[in-house]
């Protein structure tokens, strides 16, 4: 590794060993020039040292060029393909302006939604009251049965 750094420093400058924080984006034309040098007879390591890149990266470009030709050097989209490629992503940060009819419909739907929510709350309260009433009736019935059984035990 030290020999590699020495060759890099000798071929370029001492600044080539400093990490600049960003990786360089290589254009397909630049990649092709380097691949062409290797195909013409230069060694991978010498071309990589001259440019200041890793030999593995250059070897990868050569392999892609041999398999797919020039198209192998063009950067491709990364990541998983969408499930439905025809679907467009919604832009939630910048929604489009509503027309007057759409705005009126939005207001009407919000009011209808609020009414339905209130109606559901009333129904839930009615169910809770009915359950409380049934529980009270059941409790009273149990108390009556227990009083009747106590009277029978005494006699």
Show the DSSP H helices in the chain as ranges.
2-11, 28-40, 44-51, 55-68, 100-154
Supply the pLDDT for residue 153.
65
94-98, 119-123, 137-141 — most confident range? 119-123
Does residue 78 or residue 132 have the better pLDDT?
132
Contact call for residues 38 and 44 (beta carbons, < 8 A): yes
Residue 52 CA to residue 78 CA, distance in Å, equals: 25
Lowest-pLDDT range of 76-80, 94-98, 127-131: 94-98
For residue 17, pLDDT beyond 70? no
Supply the pLDDT for residue 46.
84
pLDDT digits (tens, 9 = 90+) for 60-70: 999 999 999 98
pTM of the model: 0.45
Structure tokens at 20: 């600049």
Residue 124 CA to residue 93 CA, distance in Å, equals: 37
Residue 44 has, within 13 A of its CA and on its CB side, a CA count of 10
Supply the pLDDT for residue 21.
53
Chain mean pLDDT for the chain: 84
For residue 72, pLDDT beyond 70? yes
């Amino acid at each position: 590794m030290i020999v590699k750094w020495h060759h890099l420093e000798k071929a370029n400058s001492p600044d080539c060993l400093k990490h600049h924080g960003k990786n360089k984006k290589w254009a397909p034309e630049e990649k092709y020039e380097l691949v062409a040098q290797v195909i013409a007879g230069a060694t991978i390591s010498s071309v990589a040292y001259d440019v200041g890149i890793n030999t593995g990266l250059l070897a990868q470009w050569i392999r892609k060029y041999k398999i797919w030709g020039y198209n192998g050097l063009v950067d491709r989209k990364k990541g998983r393909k969408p499930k439905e490629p025809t679907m467009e992503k919604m832009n939630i940060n910048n929604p489009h302006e509503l027309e007057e009819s759409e705005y009126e419909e939005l207001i009407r739907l919000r009011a209808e939604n609020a009414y339905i929510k209130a109606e559901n709350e009333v129904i839930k309260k009615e169910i809770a009251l009915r359950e409380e009433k049934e529980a009270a009736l059941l409790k009273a019935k149990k108390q009556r049965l227990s009083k009747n059984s106590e009277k029978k035990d005494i006699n």
